Structure 1
């Protein structure tokens, strides 16, 4: 393995990166209470839902998971200085599914249920910046169900309440080109490799050949 890499003089390098204007981590939770019959493919009016338990799963929507509805400049006084920040009205779109677990071990899964919630966020995000929201944790649980009534491809809950809990990392960014003094990376030396020698099975010389 080579230990001595050729030395290089530092030089100015320009690269394209995303500058972070502001960054916050925020928690949010909300309750939803879907009303009416829910679509459950395969369910019939004869399906026995006695003793069933209900679980949920939530994921970000595949299309437009985050929509910035409005961006408004607001003046804030921070440590005695007046700072212009932006108040964002953000719509978050999710997809929720319910799973009904029957006492016999069978499960029934609902069709996708679109869920939207709006939130106000204040951060340094002037016009032109992108707002990126990453969910570091996204979970839900069923709080109440009420009585379950089966129909043709449907289940009706008399008192369904679901709580969604979100941990989110929110950044405002803008693409920039930066210049800094650096040296180029060098590849590492290849690992030494040798083919193994020929091998043969161990003999049982105690019993064969007969040395006597």
Structure 2
């Protein structure tokens, strides 16, 4: 954009979000273990379109199985983990508000910060694939949640701005042989980790000295000349002496 024709700067009042504090942290969801056949009632696997009592037993003839964890919405529809709202991240309201906490820095300086509690929660499904990579079993949506405590500059009037910048879900399926040598379900472990930007913001009005911008001149556009395919003068138009 080109600058204003006027060289003088003007005093402007603008309304913008001001960042009072900003930290990054890895959040680790407590390990979720599904052990024994009772746990399968929670997972509610469907294998090849039907309810599955034991995926290890039913899929024994399909070779080596693999399992993966996919972030979804509450209905089991896959979502992008980094998309806004895919993982709910919000402040937990405290009965008496954010409490002040005195923090001593390494140089001995004492700062007064506020205790902020943050909740992150979402859903995922588990999918089991056969040796060729085809999905043969899918679980019902499962929920996860983790609450964390932060010490931030968060005076009254500020609000939480949370952004998930990375997401990882690892899952392990354990099948073991029973007394008769047939594979049977033992356990599934799900581990979820994510990286987050936590900011405390407030909408403020600032007085700044600046110049107004003007739109740039549009680049001239010239239509190219029409191009015609070459003719065949030997046969068309018909020569006079034909």
TM-score above 0.5:
yes
The C-alpha deviation readout for 1:108-158, integer Å capped at 9, x for no partner, is 33222111111121111123211111111011111x32239xxxxxxx953
Structure 1 contact 31–161 (Cα < 8 Å) conserved: no
Matched, 1:73 2:100: yes
Structure 1 unpaired stretches of 5+: 149-155
Compute the displacement of 1:105 (Å).
4.0
Q: 2:45 aligns with which of 37, 40, 44?
A: 40
Q: 1:187 aligns with which of 200, 209, 215?
A: 215
CA–CA distance in 2 between the matches of 1:199 and 1:17? 53
Matched, 1:56 2:75: no
Q: How does 1:165-204 map to 2 (within 5 A)?
A: 165-203=193-231
Segment drifting more, 115-124 vs 30-39: 30-39
Q: 1:127 aligns with which of 136, 156, 160?
A: 156
Tell me the residue number matched to 1:110: 139
Per residue, is there more strand in 1 or in 2?
A: 1
Compute the displacement of 1:203 (Å).
3.9
SS at match of 1:170: strand
Matched, 1:164 2:192: yes
Structure 1 contact 65–94 (Cα < 8 Å) conserved: no
Compute the displacement of 1:43 (Å).
3.1
Per residue, is there more helix in 1 or in 2?
A: 2
Structure 2 unpaired stretches of 5+: 72-80, 177-183, 236-242
CA–CA distance in 1 between the matches of 2:29 and 2:13? 45
Structure 1 contact 98–109 (Cα < 8 Å) conserved: yes
Q: What is the RMSD of the two structures over their aligned residues, measured on CA atoms?
A: 2.9
- Say how many residue pairs are matched: 199
CA–CA distance in 2 between the matches of 1:15 and 1:9? 18
Segment drifting more, 180-189 vs 94-103: 94-103
